[in-house]
Amino acid sequence: MKMTRRSSCGLWLVLVFICAVSTKSASAQPGGHLLVLRSPSFGWNLAFNLKIDGRRVADIAQGHSYHAWLPAGEHVLTVSKIPYVGYIEPTSITVNIQPGWTNVFTAMWDSGQVFLRPSGMWLTPGELWQLRP
């Protein structure tokens, strides 16, 4: 009986150790901060829906923004207009979240479409289209 108790206690300690190590390694991979702002010229009567990796996370109206911590790696941000009047295709952008970094995007409205502009990029999709050869 003592042998069975001793082996089961040893097995229990091994499982606890494995769980502790796996939990520590999962928390050792820090993420980055995502900040999605709304352009002041977006429109007072419009909002936009934000999805991260296909999962709806927020509806952002005038005077609001979105911020969250995401795990490091590539993520797809998708935005679409609210209210859903007519058919306007959602737009997506891929972001590579780096540990400890802050990724800032501004939601803008141009040519009847909502899109996310990374900080530091000054041309809208409509302006880029006009510059095409």
CA distance 24 to 80: 37
Q: Which helix (H) or strand (E) holds 129?
A: helix 125-130
Q: In this structure, is the dihedral angle defined by the CA atoms of residues 67, 69, 91 and 79, taken in order, positive or negative?
A: negative
Q: Encode the chain (133 residues) as per-residue pLDDT tens digits.
A: 555 555 554 544 444 455 454 444 445 558 999 999 998 888 778 899 999 999 999 999 998 999 999 999 999 999 998 887 777 789 999 999 988 888 899 999 887 788 999 986 555 666 666 766 6
* Rg, Å, the chain Cα set: 23
Q: What is the pTM of this model?
A: 0.68
Domain ranges of the chain: 1-28, 31-130
Backbone angles phi, psi at 53, to 5 degrees: 55, 40
What CATH number is given for 31-130 in this structure? 2.60.40
